[in-house]
């Protein structure tokens, strides 16, 4: 039986308000949507830099991602460390913000070259005398408070992270917190090999923050050989 004109009105097409709602979601806040989709620290930082974040949405994993995580596939390594340094936040921020200073206390870094206010090139040591390289881009930069970054496409090591400078309780200086997430070359296997050669990331970041503390408070870094490096 032929459809009536009334039947034609009920075509199953979404109502105008529904279309507008989805168009708004898809068309607005591209960086936020990209960040939420990634479901990682990089995604969260990208979303924050984009101007908004629903935390539950950013951290929720899909069923496939949960299964991959359970068996160690595509599982990133995340490191979180905090140290209190008896120096004001603005002094620590200025030193750190010049990324070319970082190899002075980060032993795993060979060099950092700053291209401009957003982009820099990093070369780091890898097991068996190798090295890895990547370009990184600043996602958010709040003076004397916070810097977040992520590697760009094509990096040898896909990584992202942030460093936060916050006044410590009791006027004890500044709490410096670093959170880093990365996928090592070769995935979990690569991380296991790195640990065997003394490059365990959590211990590494902790040691580097302690060296940063020594450098900022004492002006030098004492080594196990009784030597020192840094300004005198």
- Across the chain, what does the average pLDDT equal? 73
Mean pLDDT in residue range 93-121? 95
Does the pLDDT at position 104 exceed 60? yes
pLDDT digits (tens, 9 = 90+) for 187-202: 555 555 555 445 577 7
pTM higher than the cut 0.85: no
Q: Give 66 or 170, the one with higher predicted confidence.
A: 170
pLDDT digits (tens, 9 = 90+) for 17-45: 555 544 444 444 455 445 545 556 666 56
State residue 134's pLDDT score: 93
pLDDT digits (tens, 9 = 90+) for 135-171: 999 999 999 999 999 999 888 888 899 999 999 998 8
- Of the chain, the end-to-end C-alpha distance in Å amounts to 94
């Amino acid at each position: 039986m032929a459809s009536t004109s009334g039947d034609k009105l009920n075509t199953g097409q979404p109502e105008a308000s529904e279309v507008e709602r989805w168009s708004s979601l898809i068309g607005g806040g591209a960086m936020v949507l990209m960040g939420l989709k990634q479901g990682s620290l990089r995604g969260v930082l990208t979303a924050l830099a984009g101007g908004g974040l629903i935390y539950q949405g950013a951290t929720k994993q899909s069923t496939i991602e949960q299964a991959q995580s359970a068996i160690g596939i595509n599982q990133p390594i995340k490191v979180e460390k905090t140290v209190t340094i008896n120096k004001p936040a603005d002094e620590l921020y200025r030193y750190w913000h010049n990324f070319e200073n970082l190899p002075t206390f980060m032993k795993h870094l060979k060099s950092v070259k700053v291209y401009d206010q957003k982009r820099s090139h990093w070369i780091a040591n890898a097991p068996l005398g190798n090295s890895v390289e990547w370009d990184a881009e600043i996602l958010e930069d709040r003076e004397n408070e916070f810097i977040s970054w992520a590697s760009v496409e094509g990096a040898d090591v896909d990584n992202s992270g942030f460093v936060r400078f916050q006044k410590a309780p009791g006027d004890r200086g500044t709490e410096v917190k670093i959170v880093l997430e990365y996928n090592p070359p070769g995935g979990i296997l690569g991380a296991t090999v790195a640990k065997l050669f003394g490059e365990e990331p959590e211990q590494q970041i902790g040691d580097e923050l302690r060296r940063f503390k020594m450098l900022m408070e004492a002006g030098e870094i004492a080594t196990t050989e009784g030597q020192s490096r840094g300004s005198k």
